[in-house]
């Protein structure tokens, strides 16, 4: 079942947990000197071998959560454990690796020299295998400065693979890649995931979550608003929008129907987000004088927008 609120996570950390965030809170000071809550009590448990997409609009708190997960910053409240250990310990041991949006690459080194240099820190790293897994075979001699944004991301991915991590954390790894590069990148990550690696990735692309993840965690304003298996989220959130020209009073009455999840006036029409478009159509035709009726499938993107909007109006934000 899809959960639209954070699921309660038992206190103990079990050996099957790769990630365990308990009531994690992070506050910052904004440009006016006021404190605000960027991450507002996130509970999250990721089991070994899961592939989890971490979604949310700009400023939702994804990067802040990932930074805490990797031990780059500490939460103000709550706790973070990776494989039952402190994040820094797990990262230092190579059990956990990350591909972040920014990250120091030396522009004058070649791709291969970069991988070899960092590979020397991991005695058991197989440099050739890593280069090939990251799709860098053809780019070995290219200077980092001459690599495209997408190629540099693949290089960061190769560096993350060097330690043979059990958990890979990717923060918008395909930002800046074209469609083909994105597809190739995910094919490579999927191969690694199939060998049992746990993967958590933040993305803006709903389609990447849909195609690649087992589970989707959506956050908004620092809170989890959806947590569920991709197929459940898809079927629970997808649906149809029925729109029509209709009198305000009739629209308000229909909006009270259990068939209607939300109703919005736009462009001289009312747009009803519904779980059962056939039943709503019957109501519109039989009980109102609606005209110019249209039924359109609702994308996950729209569903997410509706959901995050709801969480804002219901729960309030900072």
Q: Is 58 in the site for ligand ATP (CB under 6 A)?
A: yes
Q: Is 62 in the site for ligand ATP (CB under 6 A)?
A: yes
Nearer to ligand ATP, 278 or 301 (CB): 301
How many CB atoms within 10 Å of residue 261?
Answer: 18
Nearer to ligand ATP, 265 or 315 (CB): 315
Q: Report DSSP state, residue 155.
A: H
CA–CA dist 156, 173 (Å, integer): 9
In angstroms, give the least distance from the CB of 70 to ligand ATP.
Answer: 13
Tokens of 125: 């790293």
Nearer to ligand ATP, 56 or 119 (CB): 56
In angstroms, give the least distance from the CB of 132 to ligand ATP.
Answer: 31
Tell me which of 60, 80, 91, 177 binds ligand ATP, using CB under 6 A: 60
Tokens of 107: 């522009």
According to CB under 6 A, which residues from 14 to 43 bind ligand ATP?
28, 38
Q: Is 198 in the site for ligand ATP (CB under 6 A)?
A: no
Nearer to ligand ATP, 63 or 188 (CB): 63
Q: Is 75 in the site for ligand ATP (CB under 6 A)?
A: no
How many CB atoms within 10 Å of residue 124?
Answer: 9
DSSP symbols for 136-147: -GGGTTSBGGGS
Q: Per CB under 6 A, which region of 61-69, 182-190, 206-214, 294-302 contacts ligand ATP?
A: 61-69
Q: Per CB under 6 A, which region of 58-66, 131-139, 159-167, 251-259 contacts ligand ATP?
A: 58-66
Give, in degrees to the nearest 5, the angle at Cα 244 between 239 and 245: 160
Residue 171 in contact with residue 101, Cβ under 8 Å? Answer: yes
Nearer to ligand ATP, 61 or 239 (CB): 61
Return the C-alpha torsion angle 206, 209, 211, 214, nearest 10: -150
CA–CA dist 119, 56 (Å, integer): 34
In angstroms, give the least distance from the CB of 55 to ligand ATP.
Answer: 9
Give, in degrees to the nearest 5, the angle at Cα 268 between 262 and 271: 20
Bridge-based pairing state of the strands 260-266 and 198-203: unpaired
Q: What are the distances in angstroms from CA 46 to CA 116, 156, 252?
A: 32, 23, 42
Count of residues binding ligand ATP (CB under 6 A)?
Answer: 10
Tell me which of 6, 61, 71, 165 binds ligand ATP, using CB under 6 A: 61
Q: Is 63 in the site for ligand ATP (CB under 6 A)?
A: yes
Q: Is 223 in the site for ligand ATP (CB under 6 A)?
A: no
Q: Per CB under 6 A, which region of 60-68, 131-139, 152-160, 302-310 contacts ligand ATP?
A: 60-68
H helices within 16-101, ranges in order? 62-69, 87-92
In angstroms, give the least distance from the CB of 97 to ligand ATP.
Answer: 19
CA–CA dist 3, 21 (Å, integer): 17
CA–CA dist 274, 239 (Å, integer): 6
Q: Per CB under 6 A, which region of 55-63, 146-154, 162-170, 187-195 contacts ligand ATP?
A: 55-63
Nearer to ligand ATP, 63 or 174 (CB): 63
Residue 274 in contact with residue 239, Cβ under 8 Å? Answer: yes
Q: Is 221 in the site for ligand ATP (CB under 6 A)?
A: no
Q: Is 56 in the site for ligand ATP (CB under 6 A)?
A: yes
HSE, side-chain direction, 13 A CA sphere, residue 142: 13
Q: Is 205 in the site for ligand ATP (CB under 6 A)?
A: no
Binding-site ranges for ligand ATP (CB under 6 A): 28, 38, 56, 58-64
């Amino acid at each position: 079942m899809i959960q639209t609120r954070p699921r309660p996570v038992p206190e103990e950390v079990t050996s099957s947990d790769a990630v365990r965030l308990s009531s994690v809170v992070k506050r910052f000071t904004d440009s006016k000197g006021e404190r605000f809550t960027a991450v507002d009590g996130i509970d999250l448990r990721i089991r070994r071998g899961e592939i989890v997409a971490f979604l949310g609009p700009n400023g939702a708190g994804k990067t802040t959560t990932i930074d805490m997960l990797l031990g780059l910053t500490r939460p103000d409240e709550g706790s973070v454990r990776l494989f039952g250990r402190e994040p820094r310990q797990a990262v230092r041991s190579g059990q956990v690796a990350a591909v972040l949006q920014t990250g120091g690459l030396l522009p004058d080194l070649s791709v291969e020299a970069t991988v070899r240099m960092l590979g020397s820190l991991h005695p058991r790293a197989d440099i050739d295998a890593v280069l090939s897994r990251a799709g860098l075979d053809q780019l070995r001699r290219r200077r980092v400065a001459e690599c495209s944004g997408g190629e540099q991301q693949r290089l960061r991915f190769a560096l993350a693979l060097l330690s043979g991590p059990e958990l890979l954390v990717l923060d918008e790894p395909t930002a800046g890649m074209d469609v083909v590069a994105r597809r190739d990148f995910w094919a490579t990550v999927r191969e690694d995931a199939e060998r049992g690696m746990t993967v958590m990735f933040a993305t803006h692309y709903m389609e990447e979550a849909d195609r690649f993840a087992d589970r989707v965690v959506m956050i908004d304003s620092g809170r989890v608003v959806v947590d569920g298996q991709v197929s459940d989220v898809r079927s629970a959130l997808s649906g149809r929008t029925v729109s029509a020209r209709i009198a305000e009073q009739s629209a308000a009455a229909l909006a009270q129907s259990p068939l209607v999840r939300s109703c919005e006036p736009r462009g001289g029409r009312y747009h009803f987000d519904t779980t059962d478009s056939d039943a709503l159509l019957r109501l519109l035709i039989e009980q109102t004088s609606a005209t110019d009726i249209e039924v359109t499938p609702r994308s996950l993107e729209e569903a997410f927008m509706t959901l995050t909007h709801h969480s804002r109006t219901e729960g309030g934000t900072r």
